[in-house]
Amino acid sequence: MEEGFLSVSEIIKKVVKEKKYQEPVRQHDLVYNSSSDTLEPIYFWILDLMNNFFGGKVEKLVDNFSSTPGGGHFMDLTGRRSSMQQNVSSTMGTINTVIKSVINLIYDLKDFEIRLGHYASAKSKNKDEAEAGLLALKQVWMDNVDIKRGRGSINMLAQDLNFITLRDAFMAANSLEDVKKLDLNDRVKRILEARIIEFLQWRDLSEVELKKRFNIEKNYLKSQVNMLQLYSRWVKPYLKAAAQLEMKEYGRNPALVTAFNTIYLELTLFGKNELNVHNAIRNASLPRHLKEPKRKYYSVIVIEFKFRGIPQKAGQHYVFGGRSEISFKAYSLNDEEIKLIDQELKKSDIDDMFKLVEGSTTASLDEIKKDLDYFLKDDEEKKRDEEKKKSENLNPFSALFSPLFKKKEEKKQGEMSLDKLKKDSYVESLVRALAAFDAEKICFDLFDVYKKGHGMASFDNPFE
């Protein structure tokens, strides 16, 4: 195995606390060397045989390989991996660009929403709220529209040409009638009347245009989020392929010589059958009135392939002939131990490669999830969410008990811990022993059928 990573057998030894079951309860090894026989027929023959024993639910846990740099197989796969990596790199660049666009759109929509809030306030029946809304709009108009007049703007006239009352009068007047009522000289009134008319026209037109732009950018945000999810789906197959084509480092393994044309493969198949405790009690395999344990126990078969071969190109593909080492191993494991084995394997599995995409897309979207939900959800969906929140708030017990339930749910969804794994009880030890016995029989049958199917010498069945 790759340095720093454990084989399935070593992980089982680490996970299982019962020392008796840390090692295989039965093991058969098969080794033969043939430059004419390739690995593919051996692998698929055993895979099909295992599927017959385990109902077609066989898993591949390990799939590692390494080629020597001096061989043609190395150069071929290196070129393919580089092509995949370039596709990943270009698509990830596009993903980052779309994420920036999404963030900018959210900031724009928030700004538009604040501005539209001023228009709504200006139309309010509440006098104070309406006045506050108009003052906010006047400030926006002066800062963004009137400022373009340069020295002719209200701010510059008040500052440079001593029209000191002009700014305050503009903020106080809301119509031409208000301008006429103000105690101002005719010169100031003439300027003020033109600006008030222009402001009132801008207020009506700008509201319509702002609502249009708000809806356009809202729809554009939805399309950008959809594109982001689409790019994520596109990049994952390339990322997975690039990870699968990555060769493992076997350190000082003497099977790999730099100048030779050699390949080294490691494959591991995993099959399990759950022990039916109820049927075992009925068949008198377990004591009568035995209480069924909470944990499930399985008869597990692990078949490990180690292959050292010479790649030979046949058309666009390679065939491998060489030395095959096959180990048939039988174990008895419970559901918690199997879950821990999966966790250990994922530490060195290609699933970790997807963290690159998850960090760029899912994690980034989670940070702005509230904003996305707010802008992308329809009004009806928002009302439903508000009603749910109100119903939760009306229930005085929900605030007390919901955190407890949430913690339980988080624990269920969380990872298993090796320290928290309990040893077998007396009942569980009986169930595990029976599962181990069934695993031994399956292991021998697999080994025996394979040998007989290939015309090899076989042993008498010790379970008959």
Structure tokens at 104: 């900018």
Distance CA 408, CA 210 (A): 47
Give yes or no: residues 278 and 364 share one domain: yes
- The verdict on residue 81 lying in a domain is no
Give yes or no: residues 262 and 360 share one domain: yes
Q: What is the DSSP string of 241-302?
A: HHHHTSPP--TT-TT--TTS--EEEEEEEEEEEE--HHHHHHTTSS-TTPPPPSS-EEEEEE
Average pLDDT over residues 24-37: 84
User: pLDDT tens digits for 70-108?
Assistant: 666 676 777 777 777 787 788 888 888 888 888 888 888
Average pLDDT over residues 131-153: 86
Is residue 400 over pLDDT 70?
no
Is residue 370 over pLDDT 90?
no
E strand intervals along 127-195: none
Distance CA 352, CA 205 (A): 53
Distance CA 115, CA 201 (A): 16
Give yes or no: residues 230 and 130 share one domain: yes
How remote is the C-alpha of 450 from its chain's centroid?
40
Give yes or no: residues 311 and 342 share one domain: yes
pLDDT of res. 70: 64
User: pLDDT tens digits for 221-275?
Assistant: 888 888 887 887 777 777 766 666 666 666 666 666 665 667 788 889 999 999 9
User: pLDDT tens digits for 212-229?
Assistant: 998 998 889 888 888 887
User: How many domains are contained in the chain?
Assistant: 2
Mean pLDDT of the chain: 78
Give yes or no: residues 130 and 32 share one domain: no
- The verdict on residue 376 lying in a domain is no
Range of lowest pLDDT (306-310, 371-375, 424-428): 371-375
Report residue 411's pLDDT band, with 50, 70 and 90 as the boundaries.
very low
User: pLDDT tens digits for 326-346?
Assistant: 999 999 999 888 888 888 877
Give yes or no: residues 120 and 51 share one domain: no
User: pLDDT tens digits for 292-314?
Assistant: 888 899 999 999 998 887 777 76
Give yes or no: residues 53 and 178 share one domain: no
Distance CA 375, CA 221 (A): 8
Give yes or no: residues 298 and 351 share one domain: yes
Among residues 176, 202, 237, the one where a domain terminates is 237
Phi then psi for residue 270, to 5 deg, are -135, 125
Residue pointed to by tokens 């599927």: 51
Give yes or no: residues 23 and 114 share one domain: no
Distance CA 375, CA 381 (A): 11
Give yes or no: residues 146 and 263 share one domain: no
Q: Which domain holds residue 52?
A: 8-68+258-368+425-453
- The verdict on residue 179 lying in a domain is yes
Range of lowest pLDDT (25-29, 142-146, 286-290, 353-357): 353-357
Average pLDDT over residues 185-202: 85
User: Where is mean pLDDT largest: 8-17, 84-93, 349-358?
Assistant: 8-17
User: Running DSSP on this structure, what letter comes out for residue 21?
Assistant: G
Distance CA 96, CA 118 (A): 34
Is residue 11 over pLDDT 60?
yes
Helix axes 72-122, 127-144, angle to 10 degrees: 120
Q: Is 320 exposed, middle or buried (0-12, 13-18, 19+ CB in 10 A)?
A: buried
